[in-house]
Amino acid sequence: MNNKFYSVINISGLVLGLTIGILILLWVQDEMSFDGFHSQGSSIYKLENRVGTGESTQIWQSTASPIGMLAKKNLPVVKDFVRVTYNGSYSLYKYKNNVFNENNIYYTDPSLFSIFDFKLIKGNQANPFPDINSVVLTESTVKKYFGDEEPLGKVISADDKINFTVTGVIKDFPLNSTIVGDMFFPMALLAKERYEGNAEGMNLDNDFHQFNYQTFLLFQPGASLAGIPDKLRDYHLAIKADDVDVLYLLQPVSQMHLYKSDGTNGGIETVRIFIIIALLILIIACINYVNLSTARSMLRAREVSLRKIVGANRMQLFKQFIIETTMLFCIAVFFALFLVYVLMPFFNEVSGKQLKINYTDWHIWQVISLTFAGTLIVSSIYPALLLSSFEPIKAIKGKVSAKISNIMFRKILVVTQFVFSVVLIAGTIIIGQQLDYVRKKQLGYDKEHVITFFMREMNSHFDAAKSELLHQPGVRDVTRASQNLVRIDGQTGNNSWDGKQTGETMMVRPITADGNFLTFFKMTILQGKNFTGTIEDSAHFLLNETAVKTARLGDDPIGKKFKMWDVEGTVTGVVKDFHIASMKNKIEPVVFYYQPVDMRRIYIKTTAEDAPKAIAAAEKVWKEYNAEFPFSYTFLDDTFNSLYQSETRTGTLFRFFAAIAIFISCLGLLGLAMYTSQVRTREIGVRKVLGASIGGIVKMLATDFVKLVIIAIVIAVPLAWYTMDKWLQDFVYRIEIGWWVFLSAGLIALLIALVTISFQAIKAAVANPVKALRSE
């Protein structure tokens, strides 16, 4: 209470540091907790594939259906397996008069509910799917369909084609579960739908053509996994001998959220960056406290000395200052917890999380306690040791003043603060540059103002629907294809070409497209010709530049033989390379083919001002062919932006953290500047009496601090470059870090520091020198 200004600065810095530290560490704790709640988690592994050869090598997170069954049948160490795959067979579900459009729906084996901790709270745990017309729902899905009615035995209609009986209910999936879903259907239903009457004898137990299944193996506790991937490959090749490029990988279920199955970064790098940022901000807050405590220690030198003279020993004084710091921290923690509660909705929105503050959860207090204890220890020990170390006689005579006021340690701490601040500012600029680069980079096609959706029944009447749409206001052009151009899903290595070598595999992204697809998106044909939209195109293939290069088809690939799946044909055109995914991925081989029955996705081009009219027209035509189904669409721009959602959030958080770091650092500078002007009050008064100008005094007071900030900038530049260069390595297509980034970051930090220092320096310089001399 006697030192309100310094107390406010100290508490404010600590409150901000603790608030940000707690928020980030709660985020980190949530990320690290994914899939760690399964009681058998240490024995559950996800199965993935490494496929392709050479530059075409990739990791597929999904596997073929039979491999789980073969593992359980042939390997004693495998207790059980489970497969999960997306159910795209139905989307519209009815109960009485209520209609729902569902997307988060899957086929699975009954073992999903025994291997994982997704136990049935209603239904038969041992037999969740009594027949192929059974369905298991989550609690929230049950609430949506039936309200408070008993769900078991209720019948849901799917697409007005087939009825399903609710045979089980599970709790909603935890927010930290990688496996999620709303409705689960038996894998036996998929077997019937996909393979019944298959002339080639294909079934779920021998189809190694479709890699659409997430497969998990439950091993015996403590089982050795050595050699398991090789044995799985042998089982695979015994059924499909030509898949010589397939390898199997095992990944612990607790790691699948943050790591790839080959051990490389799948998100852990972001977690590490956030941990470092949390520590940096806490350290900056601690430095503030240490700086102000040690700087003001000379003002308490006589107090400490008198305590020693009247009998206090060093340990008692040490405890006194530790208790003082603890009390200050308790106040700071109180306000920090309040601020965490207030900021949580904003933090969740920015970070994409759904974190909740539950002060009865011991995990929350674990984070808070570690943050509090760590920050308290770092901040309190040195000031307490310094204050308890004064020699009484020297302190009373004032002989410690010069030593304390010029202490090198305090300058090092100021430099450290601004090193961290400059690194965060530079990081913010570079992340913003990279995101701007990927948004503005030429993608090789025009995605502006294009809406897209699956056509359902419109597909059978596409020509009529297209003709009607083209006569509607706001519609500029219409085309169709099998894939979303921004993010082409699905790959195949089932292809061959002139010159293919034995054992060679080229993984390609196949997309069947209409005759006007390339012109619709303003894509460039470098050689050959486009599809004509006639039946002859069914034996024609268009390859992008990367596919031509990977297949070594030479400078004149037109007319060369190419086969994909069972279709043999020729290369009739070469399309200029274009981006089909995030800039983190290199451009991959793409093959266009012509198969109208598979072109289920429509694209409608409009303009910004005409978009509402085009959407209304699309909905009108949709209702003509899909009256029972709700209309929904997406803009390609939105899909493209979603590819960089994580990076956009990181950039936003970086800006926020950099601003907080600079603010805390400037709080400390303001306190130190005020302290400096206080201890030099007489000197400033004398200089003014002798004719010193206000500008000269401001320069004198600011110079020492400016030097420290400049030193910090010099140290921060290589650190910032190294850190951000590592971050940019995740992008195949990236910016080059320019020198001006660090110059800008340094100037921003220097300008903010100068404004902070000058505010107090000017205040001291314009003070009446007579009052200054009298005060001494």
Residue 191 pLDDT level (bands cut at 50, 70, 90): very high
Name the amino acid, one letter, at 133: N
pLDDT number for residue 465: 96
What pLDDT is attached to residue 756?
A: 80
The pLDDT of residue 605 is 96
Instruction: Give tens-digit pLDDT for 50-85.
Output: 998 887 788 989 999 999 999 999 999 999 999 999
Cα–Cα dist 154/138, whole Å? 14
With a cut of 60, say whether residue 403 has pLDDT above it.
Answer: no
Residues with Cβ within 8 Å of residue 547, at least 6 apart in sequence: 506, 508, 589, 590, 591
Q: Supply the pTM of this predicted model.
A: 0.84
Q: 738 φ, ψ to 5°?
A: -90, 155
Q: Tell me: the pLDDT tens digits for 426-475?
A: 988 998 899 889 888 889 999 999 999 999 899 999 999 999 999 998 99
Considering 28-37, 130-139, 372-381, 641-650, the range whose residues carry the highest mean pLDDT is: 130-139
Average pLDDT, the chain: 87
The per-residue pLDDT for 502 is 85
Asked if residue 416 has pLDDT above 90, the reply is no
Q: Is the pLDDT of residue 278 over 50?
A: yes
pLDDT at 229: 96
DSSP code per residue over 113-182: HHHSS--EEEE-TT-S-SSTTEEEEEHHHHHHHHTTS--TT-EEEETTTEEEEEEEEEPPPPTT-S---S
Please state which of the ranges 291-300, 375-384, 464-473 shows the lowest mean pLDDT. Answer: 291-300
More confident residue, 286 or 759: 286
pLDDT digits (tens, 9 = 90+) for 44-56: 999 999 998 887 7
Model pLDDT, residue 401:
46
| pLDDT interval class at 653 (50, 70, 90) | confident
DSSP for 379-409, written as a single string: HHHHHHHHHTT--HHHHHHTTTHHHHHT-HH
> Can you give the pLDDT at residue 406?
45
Q: Considering the chain, what percentage of its residues have pLDDT values greater than 70?
A: 92
List Cβ neighbours of 140 (8 Å cut-off, separation of 6 or more): 172, 182
187-191, 324-328, 724-728: lowest mean pLDDT where? Answer: 324-328
The partner residues of 495 in beta bridges, in order of sequence, read 564
Q: What's the pLDDT at 414?
A: 82
pLDDT for the residue numbered 717: 93
pLDDT tens-digit map of 676-700: 666 666 777 777 777 777 778 778 7
